[in-house]
Chains A and B, each alone.
Chain A
């Protein structure tokens, strides 16, 4: 989780990722951020997020994104 928070804080260090659950709905993340996150997650976790997992519910909070990464790691 810490590595993920680091990736996210690099993008926007003024967001409380521990509590925020509206990263997409409140337009905190934009398409550039998503591209960066996907690339960084690939680097750090060696996990490729496939297109079908690119949906708002997976990116609205750090928690749900982390859950996605874990799910993909176990596959």
Chain B
């Protein structure tokens, strides 16, 4: 039985060593190169006597960063991808949580690290790939490894203002990758066009099936997601046939009438998720690619990646939504009502996930973990952890899950999962601000921040840029004389949202 994700690499490298595994428009790594570099990096880290520690990979999005991930795994540690564009303040919050002993940098990020209040070890990717491979050391590490050991930590937005690190183990990732690959029908001829950043679990969809099947993944330059014709030309140039993108990226292409100028020539599998894909845009894609498979994916980071899928195989009305569908094999969804009983027929319940893909919880954060990784309330006989997503859903007539709304103030904005509370928390911490509230206008996909205080609008925006990642920055910032309140003394979010929408429609 497979117990470590590196077994994918070790089997594939004997079969297709010289095939390209990961590439961008300039550089690429073959499976042999990934294997050699990962083992060199693994030998370097293992020689430092680090074991079962978080090792930060602080590199720009590049095939080399992926080989660094596997290098960390060879060393018996787990990797934490950090984005080069993340504001320094947020990186430091994450480091406080991790207390990392080692950071792997590239030439560009090593200067960023110097600006941090970090006193641990720093090494350069290009140096450590020169390390002599210590076969027996790597072998002994593998012999001790269990499939319940952590593989990575990725950070997600936290409503208290501090990001939460989701810890996933080998077994969860293997379970997820096996089942996802079946749904996507991945094989050696699959050519992925990756859109997701490497610091989110979303990139697992390309990284690990590539390793398992000896497929190829191209990392698409972020820039191209602004320029749809060039984006489709990129897909055609590299014969990309499989994409798993956030729905807003697909909508961007179809919304600009790109297909009148250029059509994808090789694309046969299109998976989308993280947010609603409007039927109007889906229809446009389907018209251009009538024979392609279109698959809606749904799942939280806390259950490794995706938990449910729905292959679109019928026409939808323009105002209908594409269902979330049914859980993957070896995953169960419990739709629990407020009284912890199962929702029936048309009733709405919270999506709760049961299965091997449920992760190990939040790193160094027992309090937050215990809130949502809980004993299955339907089971009083033995220990069984389920993850409560906070997503409310119901079943349609074919027993497909349909997403209804969130229980709290978490939103999906351009494919990113954001706690509005995290933005508010950062605003409230600014000087001269007495109160803040964020709303999300889904219709125009804008985060709107309202605040009370003496600080100027411009100044607030500037301060937030230093604290929050770009995708979390409010699109509209408005200063108020006073906050509208509900009778029981809470900020009246509903009224703020209505006011905003009314002023917008004028």
Instruction: Across the interface, name the chain A residue whose C-beta is closest to B257.
Output: A51
A-B contact pairs, 17 of them (CB 8 A): A14-B458, A14-B461, A27-B85, A30-B226, A31-B225, A31-B414, A32-B414, A35-B255, A38-B256, A51-B228, A51-B229, A51-B256, A51-B258, A52-B229, A54-B256, A55-B230, A59-B226
Which one of A27, A36, A52 lies within 8 Å of B261 (CB-CB)? A52
Instruction: Across the interface, name the chain B residue whose C-beta is closest to A33.
Output: B226
In the bound complex, residues from chain B placing their C-beta under 8 Å from that of A35 are: 252, 255
Interface residues of A in 37-75 (CB under 8 A from B): 38, 50-52, 54-56, 59
B261 x A51 contact (CB < 8 A): yes
Extra contacts, 19 of them, besides A51-B257, A55-B230 (Cβ < 8 A), are A14-B461, A24-B223, A24-B226, A29-B226, A30-B226, A31-B225, A31-B414, A32-B445, A32-B475, A36-B475, A50-B256, A51-B258, A51-B261, A52-B261, A54-B227, A54-B228, A54-B229, A55-B229, A59-B226
B317 interfacial by beta-carbon distance below 8 Å: no
Interface residues of A in 2-41 (CB under 8 A from B): 13-14, 24, 27, 29-32, 34-36, 38
Q: Within the assembled complex, what's the spacing in Å between the Cα atoms of A34 and B475?
A: 13
In the bound complex, residues from chain B placing their C-beta under 8 Å from that of A30 are: 226, 470
B414 x A55 contact (CB < 8 A): no
In the bound complex, residues from chain A placing their C-beta under 8 Å from that of B252 are: 31, 35
B462 x A55 contact (CB < 8 A): no
B339 interfacial by beta-carbon distance below 8 Å: no
B226 x A13 contact (CB < 8 A): no
Instruction: Across the interface, name the chain B residue whose C-beta is closest to A25.
Output: B223
Which one of A13, A27, A36, A56 lies within 8 Å of B227 (CB-CB)? A56
Given contacts A30-B470, A32-B414, A50-B257, contact A55 B461 (CB under 8 A): no
Interface size on A, residues (CB 8 A): 19
Which one of B226, B230, B445, B465 lies within 8 Å of A34 (CB-CB)? B226
- Mask for B147-162, Cβ within 8 A of A = 1, else 0? 0000000000000000
B260 interfacial by beta-carbon distance below 8 Å: yes
A14 x B462 contact (CB < 8 A): yes
- Which residues of B line the A interface, CB within 8 A? 85, 223, 225-230, 249, 252, 255-258, 260-261, 414, 445, 458, 461-462, 465, 470, 475
Instruction: Across the interface, name the chain B residue whose C-beta is closest to A35.
Output: B252
Q: Within the assembled complex, what's the spacing in Å between the Cα atoms of A24 and B221?
A: 13
A56 x B223 contact (CB < 8 A): yes
Query: Chain A nearest CB: distance from B447 CB in Å?
Result: 10
In the bound complex, residues from chain A placing their C-beta under 8 Å from that of B225 are: 31
Which one of A13, A52, A56, A59 lies within 8 Å of B458 (CB-CB)? A13
Instruction: Across the interface, name the chain A residue whose C-beta is closest to B476.
Output: A10
Instruction: Across the interface, name the chain A residue whose C-beta is closest to B457.
Output: A13
Q: Within the assembled complex, what's the spacing in Å between the Cα atoms of A34 and B229?
A: 14
In the bound complex, residues from chain B placing their C-beta under 8 Å from that of A13 are: 458, 461
Query: Chain A nearest CB: distance from B439 CB in Å?
Result: 17
Given contacts A30-B226, A31-B225, A56-B227, contact A51 B462 (CB under 8 A): no
Q: Within the assembled complex, what's the spacing in Å between the Cα atoms of A35 and B255?
A: 10
Query: Chain A nearest CB: distance from B195 CB in Å?
Result: 11
Most chain-B CB neighbours within 10 Å: which of A14, A31, A55?
A31
Instruction: Across the interface, name the chain B residue whose C-beta is closest to A36.
Output: B475
A55 x B470 contact (CB < 8 A): no
Q: Within the assembled complex, what's the spacing in Å between the Cα atoms of A16 and B259?
A: 35
In the bound complex, residues from chain B placing their C-beta under 8 Å from that of A29 are: 226
Most chain-B CB neighbours within 10 Å: which of A27, A29, A54, A55?
A54
Query: Chain B nearest CB: distance from A40 CB in Å?
Result: 11
Q: Within the assembled complex, what's the spacing in Å between the Cα atoms of A32 and B257?
A: 17
In the bound complex, residues from chain B placing their C-beta under 8 Å from that of A31 are: 225-226, 249, 252, 414
Most chain-A CB neighbours within 10 Å: which of B256, B261, B461?
B256
Most chain-A CB neighbours within 10 Å: which of B226, B229, B462?
B226
Instruction: Across the interface, name the chain B residue whose C-beta is closest to A58.
Output: B227
Instruction: Across the interface, name the chain A residue whose C-beta is closest to B225.
Output: A31
Query: Chain B nearest CB: distance from A35 CB in Å?
Result: 7
In the bound complex, residues from chain B placing their C-beta under 8 Å from that of A38 are: 256
Instruction: Across the interface, name the chain A residue whose C-beta is closest to B413.
Output: A32
In the bound complex, residues from chain B placing their C-beta under 8 Å from that of A32 are: 414, 445, 475
In the bound complex, residues from chain A placing their C-beta under 8 Å from that of B260 are: 51
Q: Within the assembled complex, what's the spacing in Å between the Cα atoms of A52 and B261?
A: 7
Instruction: Across the interface, name the chain B residue whose C-beta is closest to A10.
Output: B476
In the bound complex, residues from chain B placing their C-beta under 8 Å from that of A54 are: 226-229, 256
Q: Within the assembled complex, what's the spacing in Å between the Cα atoms of A30 and B475?
A: 12
Q: Within the assembled complex, what's the spacing in Å between the Cα atoms of A27 and B445?
A: 21
Q: Within the assembled complex, what's the spacing in Å between the Cα atoms of A14 and B225?
A: 24
Q: Within the assembled complex, what's the spacing in Å between the Cα atoms of A56 and B470?
A: 20
